[in-house]
Structure 1
Amino acid sequence: MRIAYALLDPGIGVFGTKGASVHVQEVIRAFRADGHEVTVFCTRVNDDIPADLADLEVRRHRLPKGSGAEREQAVAAASAAIAEEIAAGGFDLVYERYSLFSDTAARLSTPAALGGPAIPSILEVNAPLIAEQRQHRSLADEAGALAATQRQLHGATLISCVSEAVAQWTLGEGADPARVVVTPNGVNTRRITPGSRPVIAAGPEAPVTVGFVGTLKPWHGTDVLLRAFARTRGNLRLDICGTGPQQAELEQLAAELDIADRVRFRGAVAPELVPGILHELDIATAPYPAGEHYFSPLKVYEYLAAGLPTVASAIGTIPALLSQGELGVLVTPGDVDELAAALDELAADPAHRDHLARSSRETAVREHDWQIRCRELLAQVEALHSVGALHPAEALHPAEALRPAEAGA
């Protein structure tokens, strides 16, 4: 099957280093692993191109620099242009990551609009972007953003939401419940694998390395992790992989807490280097603070696939992901002392860490691989077709075009 992957968000590069870019790459890898041909239509590329995606066809529509209304209008214009290009390209499916002011997939859902057959689509929704943009950035044309969002939600064949909370938001914006599914994030269990570090207790000659992988922003709780780490009593080291607007502030905090000599800030790291970095860790962390938590944290899935015992905040989707504590240690969000105690206890208990590591890896392979996720989505699109519900107004492509390629079945 020929799949057009549409990524109109100017803040996400196809080959960037942050989690959203990793997400894009892994979905593409999963489709390609099953024999599908993927072409990406985007507004931003970035330069950290993994070797296995060097042959990926990427068609970029450049946007003017700056922000505000002009930028928003440029995204809308790019969406229209990309929709026309996809319509003329003979694609079997459109997979679009929900972006503000884009309605690419919705434009392709009505044949008469672009003079060709309708193309079934999957709209991936990771967050209520209008609320996020209003709170953390700026939104010049909120009415336009809402109108484009509603066109997407009404026009997409299948709406794939990263969590139940996001699914409820789409329903509140008028999405058809019959077309909304919850698809949590996943992990590439062939790319992320367990390392070969021996599982030992912390001692004078063998410190235990605690790690964090992610963007350094307030809602990731890295400051809580530093404060907790300063209260640990064992022989621990902290490895922070990633960068973001808080990096300088966090480095200063480490100095103030007198732990700078035990904390490593790696800065930005290309996704292809992350598997090797995970091999250097003994314990992984996801120290989210209290507050709204509607997303599905990629880092925790990667920790599981790497066979890392994980200490994470009991918030949002994390307790279920960690099987209510059977696959990791859950702590109260924002509780510095509880997090410190959990790190010390796990560092001192190699048998518990080994048990968590084995169970985590087994679960990741069995339940959370990206290929499992993407095959389920294609099956759900085909199921809608089988009952004549791909789009209320039109019959779409034959079911045969939606089945995974024989090599990946």
Structure 2
Amino acid sequence: MIPPRRLAYLCSDPGIQADGHKGASVHFRELARALRDRGAELTPVMARGGRDAQRRLPGVRIAGTSSGEGVERELRALASSSAQLDALLAAGPHDAVYERLSLFGVAGLAYAAPRKLPFAVEVNAPLWEEAERYRGLGLPRAARALAREVLDAATVVFCVSHALARALAQDGVDDGKLAVLGNGVRLAAFDTAPVARRPAALRDKPVLLFVGSLKPWHGLRFLCEAFAAARRSRPLGLWIVGDGPEREVVAALAARFPDDVVVQGAVAHEDVPAIHRAADVVVAPYGDDAPGYFSPLKVVEAIASRRRLLASRVPAVCEAIGDAPGVVLHAPDDAGGFARALDEQLAALAATGPELEDSAFRRSLGWSERAAVVLERLGPPVRALRGTSAG
């Protein structure tokens, strides 16, 4: 295999910030780090930077903006591709291009196609469907057509789940170019993290931990109800770390049970491993309304932390857990099932303690392994391109 030496690495989504703490920002940065550790000379280009962009993603070039609303925002996003293309041209030449699919983002295609470069596209969701459902699209047909043009031009399309790969194939994307590459984790960060200091209210009792954005489909309302019922019959604490639309729901629970519930708010992602190590059981209570195509970072990080996981039995979770030890599932939105699963986890906790043995499956979740897959898939087309150039 001849991997690409110089790799253009692109994200034109203005909602993904170079120094951000959300899962998409973490995903983009951590894969960049792993690709560099594997020897790739990376040129990261993003639409949005932030004050701490260069420290968190060294060498990142910030190009373009898509401020505005509705159609104006979408047209600005399309126009920003010109600035991103200029950034790629200034940093080139490159052996290959890797782009995170973004609505109205065509800079990667515009750079790769005329040079006949290997072109990898990462897809994290059916973006056009999400945008129409949750935000509205002023130019829905154009959004879908441009995304499809990018996917059709790609050498390889990396999907974060098998469900997403199936959906793209059903939509007409060549299934021969589809590959599954779920969320990863920097294992060294979890292996070397100190144990965070538990909030005072949660000492001397088993602690459930929820880490992540407080979105409706993350099951926070159900978790609050299930926890309120569970604490009646046992000492139990709940530690919620994150922010989002459901913050008032979890704040109300903390006000009801100030001695058992702590809502910390969002933290820097580098603090997450230490917080995991201070907990006993990580919870991921996705509801029935959770999308089936995503790759749940909180589940992957729970496995990386070697803590027990109590999660709902939704397709994305079932795919993500593999054969990881210490996982107990319950039906989504099922309070009785949650209580039984909790009893099982607390019994195991009492018997063997909070830390699980390492596993081969856990070790397979590293970003380094993900980066190796990317470079391996790009190797043959890079080799073919170099052979053509030499000839």
TM-score, structure 2 length as denominator? 0.88
The answer to whether the aligner puts 1:16 opposite 2:20 as a matched pair is: yes
Report percent identity of matched pairs. Answer: 35
Contact kept? 1:153, 1:174, Cα under 8 Å: no
Distance 1:235 1:49 in 2: 43
Contact kept? 2:325, 2:356, Cα under 8 Å: no
Aligned counterpart, 2:40: 36
| Paired residues, number | 375
SS of 1:122 mapped into structure 2: strand
Contact kept? 1:98, 1:124, Cα under 8 Å: yes
Deviation string, structure 1 residues 258-282 (Cα, Å, up to 9, x no partner) = 3243111111211111111112111
Aligned counterpart, 1:192: 190
Distance 1:208 1:398 in 2: 60
Aligned counterpart, 1:153: 151
List alignment gaps of at least 5 residues for structure 1. 112-116, 198-203, 389-395, 401-409
Aligned CA RMSD, in angstroms, stands at 2.5
Distance 1:175 1:320 in 2: 22
Aligned counterpart, 2:108: 105
The answer to whether the aligner puts 1:378 opposite 2:382 as a matched pair is: no
Deviation string, structure 1 residues 162-208 (Cα, Å, up to 9, x no partner) = 111111222233322221111111111111227677xxxxxx97211
Distance 1:72 1:214 in 2: 28
266-275 or 83-92: bigger deviation: 83-92
Distance 1:173 1:234 in 2: 50
> Please, which of 83, 95, 99 is the counterpart of residue 98 of structure 2?
95
Aligned counterpart, 1:200: none
Distance 2:367 2:27 in 1: 10
Aligned counterpart, 1:357: 356
CA shift, 1:85, in A, is 3.1
List alignment gaps of at least 5 residues for structure 2. 196-201
CA shift, 1:355, in A, is 8.6
> Please, which of 119, 122, 125 is the counterpart of residue 120 of structure 2?
122
Structure 1 outlier segments of 4+, above 6 Å: 194-197
SS of 2:188 mapped into structure 1: coil
Contact kept? 1:289, 1:334, Cα under 8 Å: yes
Distance 2:204 2:11 in 1: 45
Contact kept? 1:240, 1:266, Cα under 8 Å: yes
Say if 1:110 and 1:290 are closer, same or farther in 2 by CA, change over 3 A. Answer: same
Distance 1:364 1:122 in 2: 26
Aligned counterpart, 1:247: 247
SS of 1:191 mapped into structure 2: helix
- Letter matched to residue 265 of structure 1: V
Distance 1:335 1:101 in 2: 40
1:190-339 mapped onto 2 (5 Å cutoff): 190-193=188-191, 206-232=204-230, 233-255=233-255, 258-291=256-289, 292-323=291-322, 326-339=325-338
Deviation string, structure 1 residues 149-173 (Cα, Å, up to 9, x no partner) = 0111111111000111111222233
Deviation string, structure 1 residues 101-123 (Cα, Å, up to 9, x no partner) = 11222223322xxxxx3322210
Distance 1:370 1:207 in 2: 34
Distance 2:193 2:346 in 1: 17
Distance 2:257 2:336 in 1: 16
Say if 1:313 and 1:399 are closer, same or farther in 2 by CA, change over 3 A. Answer: farther
- Letter matched to residue 314 of structure 1: R
- Greater fraction helix: 2
Distance 1:363 1:342 in 2: 22
Contact kept? 1:328, 1:356, Cα under 8 Å: no
- Letter matched to residue 109 of structure 1: A
Say if 1:59 and 1:348 are closer, same or farther in 2 by CA, change over 3 A. Answer: same
Contact kept? 1:221, 1:287, Cα under 8 Å: yes
Deviation string, structure 1 residues 359-391 (Cα, Å, up to 9, x no partner) = 5x54211x11111111112112224566x6xxx
TM-score, structure 1 length as denominator? 0.84
